[in-house]
Amino acid sequence: MADPVIDIEGLRFAWKSGPQVLDMDAFRVEAGERVFLRGPSGSGKSTLLGLIAGVLQPQAGRISVLGEDMSKLPAAQRDRLRADRMGVIFQMFNLVPYLSVTGNVLLPLRFSPARRKAAGNDPQAEARRLLARLGLTDESLLERRVSDLSVGQQQRVAAARALIGSPSLVIADEPTSALDADARDRFINLLSEEVERSGASLLFVSHDASLAGLFTRAADLTAMNRAGAPA
């Protein structure tokens, strides 16, 4: 069996001189898993995602992501790891307003030569392929300003951006909270399919427990995080 994609042990985090926001014993995501992590607001999920993505560092404990010990890795190398091997989808406002749809999808390739290489000889075509896979087939959409897109379309662009250049881990932070039930399920299914196709792992965080069935495994952050404020 391959190394786990995320491996957390005794992780503790507090903002500068603030109270503990995260205190959890163990959490693992294995390669190829699509994990649903339930966490209401205030449960420390954004902090956890920040730690996994390497923009935050824990005060104690061990967090290893994609085989790298994030608590020991210098900031520059954590940034490099994220650039090269992770895709991130936010709750909303995922897109850079001054880039076109394809410009947004291709954004990670600007910062990571490894991703650029993985995206193949024709990144534009790869971006179009991903967008089409996620249901954005309308060519006229591609050069449109992102602010002209519906929220559902924006989230699918964000998903394509997270997937381009075949990252090993996709992190999604409440990406469906602004979508209606239909669009939400379709989005999750499309995202899951593409994650599976590319052989990546997915960590999907949401407060909405009803989504849990769409994933290979579900976990509850409120239960794991001793420092979590009651929701």
Task: Name the site residues for other proteins (rule: CB under 8 A).
Answer: 46-47, 49-50, 53, 55-56, 75-76, 79-80, 82-84, 88, 90-91, 93-99, 103, 107-108, 110-112, 115, 161, 173
Question: From CA 95, how far away is CA 100, in angstroms rounded?
Answer: 9
**Contacts within 8 Å (CB) and 24+ apart, 135-138:** 135/186, 135/190, 136/101, 136/160
What value, to the nearest 5°, has the Cα angle with vertex 84 and ends 83 and 87?
Answer: 65
Q: What is the spatial distance between Cα 151 and Cα 190, in angstroms, rounded to a whole number?
A: 16
Shortest reach from residue 185's CB to other proteins, in Å: 25
Q: Exposed e or buried b for every residue in 173-212, given b needs 16+ CB within 10 A? A: bbbbebbeeebbebbbebbbebbeebebbbbbbbbeeebb
Q: Which is nearer to other proteins, 181 or 229 (CB)?
A: 229
Q: Which is nearer to other proteins, 38 or 45 (CB)?
A: 45
Residue 122 or residue 210: which is nearer to other proteins going by CB? 122
Q: Tell me how far, at minimum, the Cβ of 21 lies from other proteins, in Å.
A: 11
Minimum distance from residue 151 beta carbon to other proteins (Å): 14
Q: Which is nearer to other proteins, 83 or 127 (CB)?
A: 83
Give min distance, CB of 182 to other proteins, in A: 25
User: Which residue, 14 or 99, has its beta carbon nearer to other proteins?
Assistant: 99
CB of 1 to other proteins, least distance (A): 28
Which of 183, 177, 185 lies closest to 208 in space, CA to CA?
A: 177
Query: What gap in Å lies between CA 96 and CA 1, rounded to an integer?
Result: 38
